[in-house]
Structure 1
Amino acid sequence: MAAQKGKDLLLKVDSGGGSFVTVAGLRSKRIAFNSETVDITDSDSAGRWRELLAGAGVQRAAASGSGIFKDAQSDELIRSRFFAGEISDWQLAVPGFGTITGPFQITSLEYTGSHDGEVTFEMALESAGAIAFAVTP
């Protein structure tokens, strides 16, 4: 994959009826995939090396972002879903890689500000079900 612009990494939330809107004002974004392992090592393991059970661990995806809210619509979407503890469909677009779509819950929402700057926010999402992946043409 060739170098891509960081600004093209997009985080979108379902605004209702399957219509996704980009979360406004994100300056930095991160997506991570993790898979837990299941250790099946026993006294008969060759050379006492650890053995893992393929395909048995829990998989998860996490996303986070920070920036400024540029419009009331995205601020309200994020804030109301966090306080309601809702699980919503999100879309994560990674340029040159594809689009990840699935249910996520906002697990952290922080607001920060200094006396000589704008109010910023940080948010974190954790997957709450199966994730679909589509290759970007």
Structure 2
Amino acid sequence: MTARKGKDLLIKIDDGGSFVTVAGLRARRLAFNAESVDITDAESSGRWRELLGGAGVQRAALSGGGLFKDQTSDALARSVFFASEIRDWQVVIPEFGTVTGPFQIVALEYAGRHDGEMTFEIAMESAGELQFAAV
């Protein structure tokens, strides 16, 4: 696989029938995490830590930031946040695959300087099982 442009990583929100790309993003990030369950005891071999496979909680965090464009996707994200709604989101990772599943917006921030553009930051946490479809 060759290097890919960061702009090709897309974050999309379900608008009730299809997925629309969140407009104006300059940066995007998808992070997967899994908790470990420590089962080490006095009889663990060589006092090495032991973990219980398949027992921890998995989660994903999705975030992005960019220019406020006041487009359809901006209005949708805003209304979903204020309604504390859980929506399906989709992350398209070029030449890798697509991650789809329910997320809740946990942070929505707007900023602007008097001599610059208005920007926004958005953060989401997974709220259920995610599906991965390879390219």
Determine the structure 2 residue equivalent to 1:28.
27
What is residue 3 of structure 1 aligned with on the other side? 3
Equivalent residues of 2:33, 2:60 under 8 A apart: yes
Is 2:116 aligned against 1:123? no
Correspondences of 1:1-137 after superposition (within 5 Å): 1-17=1-17, 19-136=18-135
- Report the residue type matching 1:111 in the other structure: Y
**CA deviation map 1:15-39 (0-9, x unaligned):** 012x000000000000100000000
Letter in 1 for 2:76: L
Between the aligned partners of 1:8 and 1:44, the Cα distance in structure 2 is 50
Using the TM superposition, give the Cα deviation of residue 11 of structure 1 relative to its aligned residue in structure 2, in angstroms.
0.2
Q: Distance in 2 between matches of 1:88 and 1:126?
A: 11
Structure 2 unmatched runs, 5+: none
Moved over 2 A (4+): 69-72
CA distance in 1, matches of 2:51, 2:122: 33
- 1:82-121 per-residue CA deviation (whole Å, 9 max, x = no partner) reads 1111000000001111000000000100011111101100
Separation of aligned partners in 2, 1:95 and 1:116:
35
Q: Distance in 1 between matches of 2:54 and 2:15?
A: 34
* Identical pairs, percent: 70
CA RMSD across the alignment? 0.8
Q: Count how many residue pairs are aligned between Structure 1 and Structure 2.
A: 135
Find the aligned partners of 2:86 and 2:20 in 1 and give their Cα distance: 16
SS in 2 for 1:55: coil
Contact 2:23 2:71 in 1 (8 A): no
How far apart, CA to CA, are the structure 2 residues paired with 1:71 and 1:9? 21
> TM-score with structure 1 length normalisation?
0.96
Q: Are the equivalent residues in 1 in contact too, given 2:35–2:58 (CA < 8 A)?
A: yes
